[in-house]
Amino acid sequence: MDYPLFLAPMEDVTDPAFRLLCKRFGADRVYTEFINADALIRDIPQMCRKLNISDEERPVSIQIYGRNVESMVQAAKIVEQVSPDFIDLNFGCPVKKIAGKGAGAGLLQNIPLLLEITRQVVKAVKIPVTVKTRLGWDEQSKNIVQLAEQLQDCGIAELTIHGRTRSAMYRGEADWTLIGEVKNNPRMHIPIIGNGDITTPEQTKLYFERYGVDAIMIGRATFGNPWLFEDIKYFLQHNQPFPTRSMQSKIDILKEHIEKSIEWVGDERRGIVHCRRHFANSPVFKGLSDFRQTRIELLRAETKEAVFSVMDKIVQKWGK
């Protein structure tokens, strides 16, 4: 049986450098950071830069967000020109400056508009259109089972569901039961991708089996941990953990990520700052005894030489 694993779209994280790294370790599909439809239409360089995809990372999906039909249609047509494998519509972003203005998860409060955007984008482009959304706006309006049917009727190719409501933001545990309900709804025939709180190979296997989803999308657990895809794939195939990775080999991958980030950002210091989220969350540095001071050094280093030197020290001291 096939168990596809996707890298979740993440603003400020899933740039080409990180996507390619995850792809190398087995991610079956990668997504760009979300792109604001209006900014794309206005040709804002920061947004247009996010259209940068390469053949090496295919299949790749470009995600857009916005709050009106015309701009989403126009943005989708611009996206189509760079020929991604999918265009994904973001109806799940919970942050105030987006959802509060009626885009992202904000559209869960205006289902007719959400559906009209979807219908018109599907009509306007030849590339498969997919949607990523949440269970509903809040606890009282978890309408995903019905919404999934409506989205399917709009002609989308696939649906990704993050098992939280907008009100839950990222709090509490993701609830996969409704994702399973959508998947088991006999009216549904498009692939359903489950998302939310996946962190380990064991859990991935369990969730595939328990909820029957067609693919699983992983976000935060990949921070400083792009080899997670390989670990999961190995476990799914052999039912045992990936043979131990040495700390040196993991550090080498993190160093490569830094090099590629600096290249992508075009500035050494900013490239390093851009990677700090990965250092701060990498499982490589979790549970090391007496690590506090070294962690501070790692997160304060501003040159490649300084970061690499702290990393070498870590391998020497904790690498055995």
Ligand X SMILES: Cc1cc2nc3c(=O)[nH]c(=O)nc-3n(C[C@H](O)[C@H](O)[C@H](O)COP(=O)(O)O)c2cc1C
Q: Is residue 218 near ligand X by the rule CB under 6 A?
A: yes
Tell me the closest approach of the beta carbon of residue 94 to ligand X, in angstroms.
9
Residue 129 pairs in a beta bridge with: 87
Do 226 and 39 contact (CB within 8 A), yes or no? Answer: no
Q: How many residues bind ligand X (CB under 6 A)?
A: 22
Q: Is residue 6 near ligand X by the rule CB under 6 A?
A: no
Q: Is residue 231 near ligand X by the rule CB under 6 A?
A: no
The residue among 296, 229, 295, 258 whose CA lies nearest residue 22 is: 229
Q: Is residue 204 near ligand X by the rule CB under 6 A?
A: no
Tell me the closest approach of the beta carbon of residue 32 to ligand X, in angstroms.
8
Q: Is residue 63 near ligand X by the rule CB under 6 A?
A: yes
Q: Is residue 33 near ligand X by the rule CB under 6 A?
A: yes
Instruction: Pick the stretch among 195-203, 239-247, 286-294, 308-316 that binds ligand X (CB under 6 A).
Output: 195-203
Q: Is residue 198 near ligand X by the rule CB under 6 A?
A: yes
Check 22, 93, 154, 275 and give the catalytic one: 93
Q: Is 22 a catalytic residue?
A: no
The residue among 195, 84, 194 whose CA lies nearest residue 129 is: 84
3-state secondary structure 201-219: HHHHHHHHHHHCCCEEEEC
Instruction: Pick the stretch among 49-57, 74-82, 119-127, 216-224 that binds ligand X (CB under 6 A).
Output: 216-224
Residue 239 DSSP one-character state: S
How would you label 134-168 residue by residue, b for 16+ Cβ within 10 Å and e otherwise?
bbbbeeeebbbbebbebbbebebbbbbbbbbbbbb
Q: Report residue 195: phi and psi, to 5°.
A: -150, 140
Do 141 and 169 contact (CB within 8 A), yes or no? Answer: no
Q: Is residue 127 near ligand X by the rule CB under 6 A?
A: no
Q: Is residue 64 near ligand X by the rule CB under 6 A?
A: no
Q: Is residue 13 near ligand X by the rule CB under 6 A?
A: yes
Instruction: Pick the stretch among 72-80, 218-226, 234-242, 309-317 that binds ligand X (CB under 6 A).
Output: 218-226
Residues labelled as active-site residues: 93
Residues that bind ligand X (CB under 6 A): 8-13, 33-34, 63, 90, 92-93, 132, 162, 195-198, 218-221
